[in-house]
Amino acid sequence: MLVPIYYVPQILQQVALRGHNTQDLLASAGIILEDLGNASHKIPLTDFKALIRDALKLSGEPGLGLLVGRGLNPASHGIVGFAASSGASIADAMTIVARFLALRTPLVTMKIESDADEFRVVLDASPELDDTASLVLEVALVAVKNIADSLVLGGSICQRVHFAFPEPAYVGLSRDILGCDVLYGMAWSGMVFPLSGAMVKLSQHDAFVLQEAQLICQAELERVEHRGSLSEKIENMILKRQGEFLSLEQAAKLLNITPRTLERRLLDEHTTYQDIVCQLRRRIAHRYLCVDRISTKEAAFLLGYSDVANFRRAFKRWEGIPPSVFRRQTGKAS
């Protein structure tokens, strides 16, 4: 299994904060510094697990997963976090995360349950994680709780958190970071909210940005869907998935051909998969930046960039000017 390197930078940051050099961690996982800014880069699961084990050992911090999760705000999750932050309620936001979590990681699944009184967010780690499952669950659970908490003015409404593994020695850190009752040795991992609070409509909810983004993607889709080249079929495929920028391997699988065959056929059309994605992002970026209500930060996340700085660098490489200057020239707000 290949896994995205999302959240690897945050793991490295926690290790570095404790005074340790992280170069060896990167090297052991076959990652170079340039890879950390590439949202589509993936590494074998075995390397990812080795990196986690080495990070735990090097940092000497058994609660590393909690600390990594604490540093992840909604913006850290790219388009998934952005979409969830536009939810009409906590229940709506958590449903969005559950639906699209696979876009960020294949290592954790999430489902929603409710009854007359409670709204439950249930997370489950892949059995392939083995001894690293508890850390990955901690990262995911704290990060998802951060999304829910960010939607509520005045503090969290989460009643309690469950973990389906034994109580660790760092339980105090767990309760400090999560800020609510934390129970271990439970039948499932996740969060419990009062149903009434989870269903309350959020006053700051504004669905305009997502609606506008969907309209832009639809317009682009209509632009290419009647053409027949392979490159245009790939653009069509990406746009139909509402801006999910597939890896070459994912695109090849959907086209029922091998990655090598896809690369060869694109070379016959005098292009590459990377060029197609780059040009599509460039074109859609122009349209996003010409909409007043879509900020530069939101445009970056809608285009699949996990860090707005990476988007700014890419845009300057495309146009020779940063997005802020482009917006001023087109008379739009930054």
| Cα dihedral 318, 321, 326, 327 in deg (nearest 10) | 120
∠ CA 184-188-193 to the nearest 5 degrees?
Answer: 85
79 pLDDT above the threshold of 70: no
How distant is the alpha carbon of residue 294 from its chain centre?
A: 19
- pTM exceeds 0.75, yes or no: no
pLDDT of residue 56: 93
Nearest to 18 by CA among 52, 56, 47: 56
Indicate the pLDDT class of residue 20, thresholds 50, 70 and 90.
confident
pLDDT of residue 198: 93
pLDDT higher for 322 or 216?
322
- Whole-number average pLDDT of the chain: 85
3-class SS at 217? helix
Query: In terms of residues, how long is the chain?
Result: 334
Across residues 168-184, what is the average pLDDT?
95
205 pLDDT above the threshold of 60: no
pLDDT of residue 83: 73
123 pLDDT above the threshold of 70: yes
pLDDT of residue 111: 95
pLDDT of residue 208: 62
Indicate the pLDDT class of residue 220, thresholds 50, 70 and 90.
low
In sequence order, what are the residues at sequence separation of 6 or more whose Cβ sits closer than 8 angstroms to the Cβ of residue 308?
A: 75, 296, 297, 300, 301
pLDDT higher for 155 or 12?
12
- Domain 208-329 homologous superfamily, CATH: Homeodomain-like (1.10.10.60)
Nearest to 43 by CA among 55, 53, 28: 28
pLDDT of residue 10: 87
pLDDT of residue 138: 96
Boundaries of every domain in the chain? 1-61, 66-205, 208-329
